[in-house]
Amino acid sequence: MKISLAGLIAAAAFVSAMPAANAHSPGVMRTDEELIKVLRTAAPTAIVDHATILNMGADGKMKTIQDGTNGWTCMDPGNHGNGEPMCADKAAMEWAMSWQEKKPPTAAVGFMYMLNGDSGVSNTDPYDKSPEATATNNWVQTGPHVMIVGTDAKEMLKAYPRDAKADPTKPYVMWPDTPYEHIMLPVK
């Protein structure tokens, strides 16, 4: 699957609907310079410096503010001062597009950095946005982490806990037994 700029922007939209983290002041749109500074805390600087960087425009649409040369895309989809800054390689962006579009996930193994953590997500339903724990929704919030995605990672997944009530301080499989299951690797 070839990923285009339009595809990158569509993939970026997938996180826009996620609950916002509370790492920054809410309600403030970041300038391009502020965003790049925050992204350098979400992934290694060497990746951010050469990645395609997307920022939210005043019209609510993602725009490219830096053309990349290394195959990575970085963004803070919430970017109102309270998003979830991340960087993803090409395969991870394709996987994210598949997830957002509810299509079969891509096979290629992909990698994402989220070194500022996340605000939480259901660990059982890839589309449940309700933070309340229910019989079918186990909410989990993970601190600084990296993610390994893609169906070619299935063999690797076997080595990690698959409990719906995951311990986010240890490596685990998020969304176990769904097409979008992937490895969450806390780094602190």
Contact 85, 56 (CB under 8 A): no
| Domain-located, residue 32 | yes
> Quick check: 27 pLDDT over 70?
no
CB contact set of 109 (below 8 Å; sequence gap of 6+): 91, 148, 149, 150, 152, 153
Q: Which two tokens stand for residue 59?
A: 């019209």
pTM of the model: 0.83
| Domain-located, residue 127 | yes
Residues 83, 10 within the same domain? yes
Output the CA–CA distances (angstroms, integers) from residue 36 to 5, 76, 147, 158, in the order listed.
19, 10, 21, 36
Give the HSE-up count for residue 68: Cα atoms under 13 Å, Cβ half-sphere: 24
Residues 182, 116 within the same domain? yes
Residues 43, 10 within the same domain? yes
Residues 118, 178 within the same domain? yes
| Domain-located, residue 102 | no
Give the HSE-up count for residue 61: Cα atoms under 13 Å, Cβ half-sphere: 6
Residues 9, 84 within the same domain? yes
pLDDT top residue among 179 and 16: 179
pLDDT tens string 71-112: 999 998 765 445 789 999 999 999 999 999 999 998 999 999
Residues 113, 161 within the same domain? yes
| Domain-located, residue 64 | yes
Residues 70, 130 within the same domain? no
| Domain-located, residue 141 | yes
Q: Sign of dihedral through CA atoms 167, 47, 40, 23? A: negative
Residues 148, 174 within the same domain? yes
Q: Of 45, 69, 92, at which residue does a domain stop?
A: 92
Residues 132, 157 within the same domain? yes
Model confidence band, residue 17 (pLDDT cutoffs 50, 70, 90): very low
What is the pLDDT, as a whole number, of residue 59?
Answer: 84
**Mean pLDDT over residues 3-22, rounded?**
44
What is the pLDDT, as a whole number, of residue 152?
Answer: 94
Backbone angles phi, psi at 73, to 5 degrees: -125, 130
| Domain-located, residue 152 | yes
Output the CA–CA distances (angstroms, integers) from residue 143 to 58, 67, 95, 153, 169, in the order listed.
29, 29, 22, 22, 8
d(CA 65, CA 5): 12
Q: Of 44, 60, 92, at which residue does a domain stop?
A: 92
What is the pLDDT, as a whole number, of residue 82?
Answer: 53
Q: Of 62, 92, 122, at which residue does a domain stop?
A: 92
Number of domains within the chain:
2
pLDDT top residue among 114 and 6: 114
Q: Which two tokens stand for residue 49?
A: 């410096």
Model confidence band, residue 28 (pLDDT cutoffs 50, 70, 90): low
What is the pLDDT, as a whole number, of residue 162?
Answer: 94
Q: Which residues make beta-bridge pairs with 122?
A: 139
Residues 122, 52 within the same domain? no
| Domain-located, residue 123 | yes
Contact 123, 140 (CB under 8 A): yes
What is the pLDDT, as a whole number, of residue 176?
Answer: 94
Residues 121, 74 within the same domain? no
What is the pLDDT, as a whole number, of residue 119?
Answer: 85
| Domain-located, residue 99 | no
Domain containing 84 equals: 5-92
Closest C-alpha among 43, 47, 50 to residue 68:
50
